[in-house]
Structures are given as structure tokens and as C-alpha cells.
């Protein structure tokens, strides 16, 4: 899939939102990629996951034996990646505020894992999810996501394979431009405020 074709999937799903958003990291942005809208169509989710799976280098695919994704946003794309790669897919979640494997999901000692996210902005959620994988005995060898909107800044500490990079601005709470501050805020994600 070309980058234009991928962007067209987002447009067709009405997933390219404009407004005033508070992101998971606490940053503010005038743009939000609502991947849940992209993934609500199973056929579209499958097309995008297949393209992402195809883009992974063979050296990575030959090592991994499990997909782990951070809930909520990572669950559907993680599951579709599991289908595309022929691997089981589990998720970490944070009912107590810290990601953990629950529901009887287990990793074997040293099991090599692909971490799958919907969006990476600062990479904080990915890094927190990796800690949960390590705490469960696994080893994250690479990360993949539908979108990288980090403007090249996210350092996940492992090779990172986004399907598309979209450069959009994000601002610290104290540096929100007045035209953005004038728009009422929305916080679409499920991370609780610290």
C-alpha cells in the first residue's frame, strides 16, 4: 500500500479529526488520528494490518512468536496483526494505572514479542507496555504501529515500524497557541489524568 492509499483509508473512515485534543501524554494538539474509526471496519483493519505485517523485515518476523498490544487502542490492530502474522495476540491493560498482563495471558521466559500500537506520539505508552512484557518474562524485539505522529522523536529502544508517519504539531500545556486554547478541549483516549 502506498502512503496515499493508507491516508485515504483514514479519510474514508472520517478518522482525521481537527479541534483541540488532550493526548495521552498530556500534550495538546489541533489534530487527532482516531484509529478506532479506521479499525471499526473489519475489512479495512485487515487490509492495514496485512500491509503493516508485510512491511516488517524477515529477520524480525522469524524471531517473534507473540504479539502484545496496549489496551484499549492497540487491541484491534494487535489482534489483526496476529492474524496476518499467524501468531497469537494478547494485550496489556491498566485498570490500576500500570500496564499488566491479565485474563490468564502468559508469556514464556524469554519469549520474543512484537509490540503493536495504534498510534505513537511520545512513545510513553509503548515504553510502559514494554515494561509489562518484561515483567511477564517476555522480550520485545520490535514495535509496530499504524501511525507514528512523533515527528521522528519517539525512541522506543527497539526497531520501530510504523505503517505511516504523519507530522502534526503537539504542544506542552503551558505552550498552547491562543487560537488553539480558544477551542474547547476533548480527551478521546482512556488514560486517566495523573
Ligand X SMILES: O=P(O)(O)OC[C@H]1O[C@H](OP(=O)(O)OP(=O)(O)O)[C@H](O)[C@@H]1O
- Cell match 516488517: residue? 56
Residue of 6, 13, 33, 75 that binds ligand ORO (CB under 6 A): 33
| Lookup: cell for 112 | 520474543
Rg (CA), the chain: 16
Segment interacting with ligand ORO, rule: CB under 6 A, options 39-47, 101-109, 117-125, 138-146: 117-125
Pairing of strands 112-120, 89-93: unpaired
- Cell match 505508552: residue? 125
State the Cα angle at 47 between 44 and 49, rounded to 5°. Answer: 105
Segment interacting with ligand X, rule: CB under 6 A, options 38-46, 50-58, 111-119, 156-164: 111-119
Measure Cα distances from 67 to 79, 143, 192 in Å: 8, 10, 25
| Lookup: cell for 162 | 510504523
Segment interacting with ligand X, rule: CB under 6 A, options 12-20, 50-58, 117-125, 135-143: 117-125
Size of site (CB under 6 A) for ligand X: 19
Instruction: State the nearest-atom distance from the C-beta of 25 to ligand ORO, in Å.
Output: 6
- Which residues form the interface with ligand ORO (CB under 6 A)? 23-25, 32-33, 35, 73, 118-119, 121, 149, 189
Known binding residues for 5-phospho-alpha-D-ribose 1-diphosphate: 117-125
Amino acid at each position: 500500500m502506498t502512503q496515499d492509499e493508507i491516508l485515504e483509508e483514514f479519510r474514508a473512515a472520517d478518522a482525521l479529526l481537527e479541534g483541540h485534543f488532550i493526548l495521552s501524554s498530556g500534550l495538546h494538539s489541533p489534530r487527532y488520528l482516531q484509529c478506532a474509526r479506521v479499525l471499526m471496519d473489519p475489512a479495512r483493519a485487515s487490509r492495514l494490518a496485512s500491509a503493516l505485517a508485510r512491511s516488517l523485515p524477515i529477520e524480525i518476523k522469524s524471531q517473534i512468536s507473540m504479539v502484545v498490544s496496549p489496551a484499549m487502542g492497540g487491541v484491534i490492530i494487535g489482534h489483526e496483526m496476529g492474524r496476518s502474522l499467524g501468531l497469537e495476540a494478547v494485550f496489556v491493560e491498566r485498570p490500576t494505572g500500570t500496564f499488566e498482563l491479565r485474563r490468564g495471558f502468559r508469556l514464556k521466559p524469554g519469549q520474543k514479542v512484537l509490540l503493536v500500537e495504534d498510534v505513537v506520539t511520545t512513545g510513553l505508552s509503548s515504553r510502559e507496555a514494554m515494561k509489562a512484557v518484561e515483567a511477564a518474562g517476555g522480550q520485545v524485539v520490535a514495535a509496530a504501529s499504524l501511525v507514528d505522529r512523533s515527528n521522528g522523536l519517539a525512541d522506543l529502544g527497539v526497531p520501530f515500524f510504523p505503517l505511516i508517519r504523519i507530522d502534526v504539531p503537539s504542544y506542552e500545556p503551558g505552550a498552547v497557541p491562543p487560537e488553539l486554547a480558544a477551542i474547547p478541549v476533548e480527551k478521546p483516549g482512556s488514560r486517566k489524568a495523573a
